[in-house]
Amino acid sequence: MADNKTFYSRDDIESAHQKLTRAKQFVHQGQATEAERIYRQLILDYPEYYSAHRAIAGLYIHQKKFYLAYQHLSVALGGDNTDYYSMLNMEALTIELDMIRTGLKLSEDIEHLGEKMGLKKHSDVHHFNKGSLLLKNHEYAKAIIEFKWCLKSKPLSVEPALKLIKCYRDLGNYTAGLIVIEKFIKNKKVESNQFIYALSDFPAKFIKKNVRRYLFVAEKITPSNHEEKIGWTFSIAKLYHINGDYKKAWDKFCLANEMVKDDIKDKFQTNSQWEKEILSWAKNTDFKKTFFTENSSNTQPLYILGPSRSGKTSLEKALGWIPGIRKGLESKILSDSTAQAFNVGNRLPSGYLPHLPDELIPEFVNFYRSSYKENAQDSSIYTVTTPGLVTSVPSILSALPNAKFIFMKRNVHDIALRMFFTHYSNANYHSYDYKWCLNYVEWYYKLVDVWQNKFPDKVILIDYKTLVNNSAEQLKVILAFLEIEKPAPVDFGIPNDIGVSEPYLALIRGG
């Protein structure tokens, strides 16, 4: 509620929270005057109640009273706002965005606002603030001038450099973006992976061509904490791989995965047992029950599935020329519909369809059909590539009887290794040990084989290697499966990384 200098009783805190909640309700009801009155009284009673300052700032943003909003955000951030760099990822940025949306004259208004705030016309804060607004408005040339001004100062700050890199990236001047980092890193110790992440957004061809310069940047970074070290180790391992230093790459990938493995081992064991049960259920169940025989819309539901890193998204992109196709990517429609069905049954919400009781399946089916239709809109084909939907094929067909599934199959070692090379943001607990990856891929394909046998008219398998080497023939198979007669383009556009595991197999066996 406040900083360390002030202490409030539990009753004070509860009373303040209740008043704050009531004021927010007034805002939602359109009673801004009453909400502002409560906010102001809260701030008088509890000057360091930062949530109240943030709330009233939000109200002032909506009312376009930007100067007042800045004043309260300044308090909410625990100090004056002259150190703008400490505010970057906080609410203050929403004010700038709102200024653009309301069509205020960009350069004039930021200078006028800066004067009101007491900022010097040529301070770093002023130039960074102005540059951020110009960047949001896609005025790249002017924004570059502002960020370069900031980088003349000492000590150097990472934030203007990152903004400058974004300008160059958006303009396609990747070399200039890389030079910014090289110059910066020579003059300042860097403990964060932000530069590596910024550079990873550049095209793969550029990274490959400049991999030694990338390695120079990465090797100069000294991660400041455990999480940063994990991310850094994965990143530098990938650069060693691109550079052909396979032994160094393998050692770093093993080290990176070991840092994560101990923390997720129990979850991996739980998932492995669940996978065995799913496979047994799939093999031994006679899936005859259907809830609908008619389609929910004229859209063709198409699920392009396979383990992570198997080429699903590449195929989805390659089919983008089909008229009326709409990409759902890794859509969360199914898990959301499942959670809604759990709620109907007054149970704790879960996104895992296999855990849904039989009596709630009809609820799921209704929610899923409705959500799918809403997301598909009036598309001819709506694609989904969420890998985990492999366990839900029968349930999807019960809701969408015209659904079709394309399963991507490729060399198990290539997939397992590419998974092992990836630092996932969540789940994928099998990916932090190479043998775990291999076992998971083999389990996935066993389940795919079951679905192909049980639903032969709904499922086809596409081999990644054949797709790359003979895309024209494979495309004919896919179009026939989808009952599309339109001729396909000559260039199918599937990237070729077949055999990615070959340089590592000896190292794997030796390990």
The CATH number assigned to the domain holding 420 equals 3.40.50.300
- Cα–Cα distance for residue pair 477/240, rounded to 1 Å: 38
Please give the helix or strand (H or E) that residue 404 lies within, else none: strand 404-409
Q: Residues 232-260, buried b or exposed e (16+ Cβ, 10 A)?
A: bbbbbbbbbbbeebeebbbbbbbebbebb
126 located within any domain: no
Q: Please indicate, yes or no, if residue 317 is contained in any of the structural domains.
A: yes
- 137 within domain boundaries: no
Residue 89 is assigned to a structural domain of this protein: no
Q: Which of these, 164, 192, 188, lies nearest to 178 by C-alpha position?
A: 164
- CA proximity to 84, closest of 125, 120, 119, 124: 125
How many angstroms from the chain centroid is the CA of residue 73? 28
Residue 455 sits in which domain range?
279-510
CA angle centred on 459, ends 456 and 465, rounded to 5°: 120
CB 203 within 8 A of CB 170: no
Local confidence pLDDT in tens for the 511 residues of the chain: 544 345 556 667 777 888 888 888 788 777 888 888 888 888 888 877 777 887 887 788 777 676 677 677 667 655 444 444 334 334 444 444 444 444 444 444 444 444 444 444 456 677 787 788 788 788 899 899 988 888 887 677 788 888 999 999 999 999 999 999 888 888 777 777 787 888 787 888 899 999 999 998 888 888 878 888 888 999 999 999 999 999 999 999 999 999 988 888 888 888 888 888 889 988 988 877 665 556 556 788 889 999 988 888 888 888 877 778 888 766 666 666 666 665 555 544 444 455 566 666 777 777 777 777 777 777 888 888 888 888 888 888 877 888 899 999 999 999 999 999 988 877 788 889 999 999 999 999 999 999 999 999 999 999 998 888 888 888 888 888 988 877 666 566 677 778 888 999 888 887 5
> What angle separates helix 124-136 from helix 92-101, to the nearest 10 degrees?
50
Question: Is residue 306 in a domain?
Answer: yes
- Could you give the number of structural domains in the chain? 1
CB 178, CB 211: distance < 8 Å: no
Residue 504 inside a domain? The answer is yes
Are residues 383 and 325 in contact, defined by beta-carbon separation less than 8 angstroms?
Answer: yes
- The answer to whether 1 touches 16, Cβ cutoff 8 Å, is yes
Assigned domain for 420 exists:
yes
Decide: residue 44, CB within 10 A, 0-12 exposed, 13-18 middle, 19+ buried: exposed
> Maximum CA pair distance of the chain?
75
For residue 444, tell me if it sits in a domain. yes
Rounded to the nearest 10 degrees, how much is the dihedral formed by the CA atoms of 370, 374, 377, 383? -80
Contacts of 85 (CB under 8 A, 6+ apart): 128, 157, 159
What is the bridge-based pairing of β-strands 459-463 and 404-409? parallel
The type of residue at 189 is K
